[in-house]
Amino acid sequence: MRIRDLILPEDKIFFTLFKDMAGKIAEAATTLNEITHELPEGTEKSHKVRQLEHLGDEVTRHIYEHLNESLITPLEPDEIARLAPAFDDVLDKLDWVTHQLATYEIPQSNDVLKEYSYLILMTSHEISDALDALATLNHPDDVRSHVTEISRLYNLSGELLSRAVLDLFKTQDLLMIIKLKDIYESMAKVMEKCNDVGHALSDISMSHT
C-alpha cells in the first residue's frame, strides 16, 4: 500500500465518471448499429449520438476539474489524464461517422456497414468490461483478457476495411465509392481509438500490479 493511501481515502469519483463515459460509448455504438441496419431510414438517430458526444464532453470536463481539485486519486494523475481524452476521442469519432451516414444519403445498407458497426458495438462492451475489471485494481488478468479481445476485434476491422475497399473499386458508381470509402475509413478510426483505450487500460492495470 502506498503511504498516501494511509493518509487520505481515494477519490472514487473518477471511476464513476469513466464508467459514465464507457456507458455513453456503448449507447452511441448501439445507435450506430441500429442506423446501419435501418438505412436509408433511421439516420435521424444520429442526433442522439451528437447529444451523447456533447454529454461526454461535459463528463470529460468534470474529470479534469476533479483531477485539479483532488488531493488523492485511485489512479496516478497522468493515467487519468491519458484515459480521459482517449474515451472522448471514441465518442468524437462515433459522432462523426453517424453524421456521415445521416448526410451522405446512402440509399441502402450493406454487409460491410453492418459488420463494421457490430465490431464497434462488441468493442464498446469490451471497453466497459475492462474498465469494470480495472476499477478493483486487483484483477489485471481480467483487464488483459478484455484488452486482448479489443485488439482482436481491431485486427478484424482492419482486415474488413481492406476487403471492403477492394470490393468498392469493383463497382461503377464513383460517387458512391467515395462516400462509402469515407464512411468505412471513419469506422476504422473509431476502432483505432477504441484500441487506444484498450492500450491505456492495459498499461494502467500493469502499473498497479
Q: Identify the DSSP state of 107.
A: S
**Where would I find the H helices in 70-139?**
77-103, 111-136
Report in angstroms the alpha-carbon separations of 117 from 42, 66, 102, 157: 14, 33, 15, 10
Q: What pLDDT does residue 4 have?
A: 38
Q: Identify the DSSP state of 125.
A: H
Q: What pLDDT does residue 3 have?
A: 35
User: How many other C-beta atoms lie within 10 A of the C-beta of residue 40?
Assistant: 11
Which of 138-149 are b and which e, b meaning 16 or more Cβ less than 10 Å from the residue's Cβ? eebebbbebbeb
Give the pTM: 0.92
Which of 161-179 are b and which e, b meaning 16 or more Cβ less than 10 Å from the residue's Cβ? beebbeebeeeeeeeeeeb
Report in angstroms the alpha-carbon separations of 143 from 74, 103, 115, 120, 147: 16, 38, 25, 18, 6
Q: CB-based contacts of 46: which residues, under 8 Å, 6+ apart?
A: 31, 35, 98, 99, 101, 102
CB 91 within 8 Å of CB 52: yes
User: pLDDT by residue (tens digit) across 151-161?
Assistant: 999 999 999 99
For the chain, list residues with pLDDT below 70.
1-11, 71-72, 209
